[in-house]
Amino acid sequence: MREALASLKDAVRTDPSPENHAAYGRLLRDLTAMDDALYQLRAAAEKDPGNADRWIELANAYYLKPDPGLAWNAEKRAKQAEPGLQLRRRGGKVERASDSAAQPE
């Protein structure tokens, strides 16, 4: 895990792409390093503002923090990035209502 963390940190340093920020942020989130995870996931969303999935991922991280106000703002940005986007809450997370794996609660 330590090697993956170092590799992703290096990837962000050498290529600060939305993909690298998102991958690093997801790993940090999984390790519960929430402040650092939020920084990386926010950077991914801001560098790729038209990608609703980046905003959804950021919203879910804010819900884990917990910071529901900022989570709601990230959900709003997802909907702005993709007009008509429908979201649902499932298992404590926000996801696309059209997700084929999504089942009504």
Assign a CATH topology to domain 2-96: 1.25.40
* CA 9 to each of CA 3, 25, 65, 78, 91: distance values in angstroms, whole numbers, following the listed order: 10, 10, 21, 26, 29
Two tokens at 46?
């801001």
Characterise 8 by phi-psi region: left (phi > 0), alpha (psi -120 to 50), beta (else): alpha
Q: Which pLDDT does position 105 carry in this prediction?
A: 40
Q: What is the pLDDT along the chain (105 residues), one digit of tens a residue?
A: 889 889 999 999 999 999 999 999 999 999 999 999 999 999 999 999 999 999 999 999 999 999 999 999 999 999 999 999 999 999 889 999 987 654 444
* CA 105 to each of CA 21, 97, 102: distance values in angstroms, whole numbers, following the listed order: 32, 12, 9
Two tokens at 31?
């390790």
Say what the pTM is: 0.88
